[in-house]
Structure formats: structure tokens, C-alpha cells
Chain A
Amino acid sequence: MRLRPWRLAGRVGLAAGLLLFGQRGSRLAPERSASAAEQQPAAPQVAVAVARVIKVTAKKFEFKPSVITVKKGELVELELTTSDRRHGFDAPDLKIHAEIKPGAPTRVQFKPDKAGHFVFHCSVFCGDGHEEMTGEIVVAE
């Protein structure tokens, strides 16, 4: 059975992952109808990558975990939730800017292209201790 990656993307992508197509691929593969899929030519070289989901919980005035370790080039999805109030999650050097609202997780995907230590912080002022609500993303080679 020939793999039809665009259909797989529609399912796996909804669950937790992401499919990357080709070397440029860093965008979510579009879900297509079966009829459209049948008209597609044979799929070219396909690299399939599923994001690794890392759950991060925010509450006054900490993130858990506060240190997130990933690998350079790894596709990561942060599943951000809050257990008390609105918070933010900003890692400016990785261009991650997210708001975390009570009631539903915020999902952010990124694929670091450089190794190092990158600070993140709460970007929604949340009270006395807000300044200490920080963490670090460690990108290993």
C-alpha cells in the first residue's frame, strides 16, 4: 500500500504532530479531500517528522518544567497550560511568543536551528513575583 502522506498529515497533525515535506518543509501539511488526493502524482521523497510534545504548566510565579531541553533541528511542540490565571510564554531569541489562558492549552511549535541557552519568561504581568517567572530552553547539538 502506497503511503499517502497528505492524508496521514490530516490525522496525525490533529493528534499531536506535524509532517514535514522535503527539506524546506516546516509548515503544517494541508489536509486534502480524497478525490484531490487521488489526482496527485506519486509522492516525491518524503521525510516524516512528528513533533515531540513537551507539556509546560504555568502558575504564579513559575513554569514547570523551568528548564526545557531539546535538540538542534528537532521539531518540538510546547503544550502550554495555566493552573491559575493568564500568563505568557516568551522566548524572544527563538521567536516564541504565546499567551496562556485558563481553560485550554496553547500549542506552539518550533524547530531550533542553533544550539545554546535561551531564556523564556512570562510576558503577561501577573503580580509580585512576575519578574522571577522565567525559565530556559536548552538547545543541545
Chain B
Amino acid sequence: MPFQHSRRQLLKLMGVGGVVFASGLAGAGESGKRKGAGHPSGNQRDFFFLQLSDTHWGFQGPPNPQAETTLRQAVATINAVDLQPDFIVFTGDLTHTTDNKDVRHTRMAEFRKIVSDLRVKDLRFMPGEHDASLDAGDAFKKHFGSPYYAFDHKGIHFVTVDNVSDPKGAVGDAQRDWLAGDLKKVGKDAPIVVFTHRPLFDLYPSWDWATQDGAKVVDILLPYRNVTVFYGHIHQEHHHTTDHIPHHSAKSLMFPLPAPGSVAKKQPIPWDPAQPFKGLGYRQVEEKDKNVNIEELSLSEA
């Protein structure tokens, strides 16, 4: 195992987000061996990346009295680890929403500046509804570029899906057409990772934890045999499978939310002074013997 000697450092790193090993992704461990897998690069080797989510820069309130330092602390924690990820993806709600356009731009610029201090320079961004739903993504595009795109990295095809620029939480016909066209470039066995903000399945529609046309997006993904979805929005770890496609949500770096339907009204879990950062945090996804093992730790232990 190439990272065995650095496991303690990795556990520390996992305290601020999700650590994902390429070998733990569906189909990734075999794609390099399989002739005709159809992957664009075929340059498969083990690596890991981080998923950070729902940083809500600009949020102020009792659910996180340390809101102004949490993101910087996460950056410092990641930078302190010798073993760096290949890239870091932020799966939406980079900033907390505001009606004031100037404040929105300021928050995005501040967020961008803070995360630019990361040692890892390959950063991938996508919007959450707090970033993009009030202006159809205009400010996000100015600061971070397109809200949906695809890229390849060491044998894996990555796709981001924007289900927030439409304030109704839909992906829309045009983007679904783009997604279907993009995936036609890779083979049915290619390892594919999808990043999105809202869940693509009906996790808990009464709390708006769904994507209006998520089922149509999943239908596009279903013909591909090795797809893994990572998302945010719900501020907690959650795992679900639609047919053969696993969906993994990430914890927030601002405040946790309760389990779906566990309370009458959705609202942030109160800050616990005795356990700062409780509920914020981290995840590891790793493959062993073709099984995906997931290990969870809390940010307060990082």
C-alpha cells in the first residue's frame, strides 16, 4: 500500500474533508488492465483527492461561533500534512448566500484568496444554491468559471453537475444533454466520478434534499457500470445506492444538519462548546480487495 507509512498524517488530513483513494472508486482499480475499457488516458495509478464541502464563507451565527476561522484552520491543517492530495474539490456552498451583490462578490473573492493558500494548487470548484441560486450563477462564473465541466485525471473521468443555478434545484435539459454527450466519449466500463451539490436522488424532498430532475440525471449515468457520486448540501455523511451507483455526501465545514427526517424542523445542530467542530469533518474512502471501506473521523480530532 503506497500510503501506509503516512497513515497517521492521512488521518489528520481526513479531519477536514473526505479523502478519496482512486483505487477505492468503482472500476478504478481495474480500468488500467482492462483492454477496451474506453478510458481517454489509460494512465491509471493510485492517488487520492480531498472533498471539502459547504464551507459557507460569510456565515455568522450561533451554529458556529468560530465561523471566521474554520476555513483558515482547515487550510492550515491540510497544508501541515506532508502527503498532499492530487487535487481538492469543493462541492458547493463555498459562500453563504446574501441578497447584496457586492457582498456576494466580496465573499467569493475572500474565499478564493483563503483557499489559494493551500499547498495544493489544483483546486476544483462547483456552486451550491447559496453561491448561485439568486443570480443564476453569474457571480460564481466570474470568480470560479463554469459551474459544470468535465476533466480527466490519471485514468478517471470526472464530471461536475450543476443542480443549483436554477433556483428550483434542477439540472435542466441543456446540461443533461451536455452530460450525456460528454459521457459518450468514455466507455461503459470507464471509472467515472460525478461531483454535484444536491443529492441526485430523493433523499428527503420535504427538506428540499433532492434534485428536481435528478432521476433523469441518474438515468443518464446508469448505462455506465463504474460511477461514483460525491455531493454536499446536507452537511453530514450519508451513503445511498441507486442501482449500482453509490452516492456519498460530505460533511460541512461550517455547521452540521440533523439526519433526514430525524427532527420536525430542519435547522443546524447547535454548537457544543465542550466539543467544538462536532459534526464537521472527514471521510476516507479506500479500496481493499475490491471492497470500498469508509472511515469517518471528526474535525475536532484532526
A binds B: yes
A124 contacts chain B at the CB level, 8 A cutoff: yes
B39 at interface (Cβ–Cβ under 8 A)? no
A130 CB contacts on chain B under 8 angstroms: 97, 129
Cβ–Cβ contact A131 & B266, under 8 A: yes
The B interface is mostly helix, strand or loop, or mixed, namely loop
A125 touches B134 (CB 8 A): yes
Q: Does B134 contact A121, Cβ atoms closer than 8 Å?
A: no
Closest chain B residue, CB of each to CB of A136:
B264
A124-B165 Cα distance, complex, nearest whole Å: 11
Residues of A within 8 A of B134 (CB): 125-127
A141 at the interface (CB under 8 A from B): no
Find out whether the CB atom of B208 lies under 8 angstroms from the CB atom of A121: yes
B178 is an interface residue with CB less than 8 A from chain A? no
Q: Which of B169, B266, B267 is within 8 Å of A123, CB to CB? A: B169
Question: How many contacts between A and B, using CB within 8 angstroms?
Answer: 43
Task: Render B146-180 as a binary contact track against A, CB cut-off 8 A, 1 for contact.
Answer: 00000000000000000010011100000000000
Pick from A90, A128, A131: contact of B267, CB below 8 A. Answer: A131
Give the number of chain B interface residues (Cβ < 8 Å).
18
Is B265's CB within 8 Å of the partner chain A?
yes
Greatest chain B CB density within 10 A among A121, A125, A130, A131 is at A125
Q: A131-B266, A131-B267, A134-B265 are in contact. Are A125 and B167 (CB under 8 A)?
A: yes
What mask results when residues 96 to 107 of chain B are scored 1 for a CB within 8 Å of chain A, else 0?
111100000000
A16-44: which have CB < 8 Å to B?
none
In the assembled complex, which residues on chain B have CB atoms less than 8 Å from the CB atom of A134? Answer: 265-266
A93-127 interface with B by 8 A CB criterion: 93, 99, 119, 121, 123-127
Does B169 lie within 8 Å of A128, measured CB to CB? no
* A123:B168 contact, CB within 8 angstroms: yes
Does A128 contact B99, Cβ atoms closer than 8 Å? Answer: yes
Q: Flag if B99 contacts A127 (CB, 8 Å).
A: yes
Residues of B within 8 A of A93 (CB): 206
Chain B interface (Cβ < 8 Å from any Cβ of A): 96-99, 129, 133-134, 164, 167-169, 205-208, 265-267
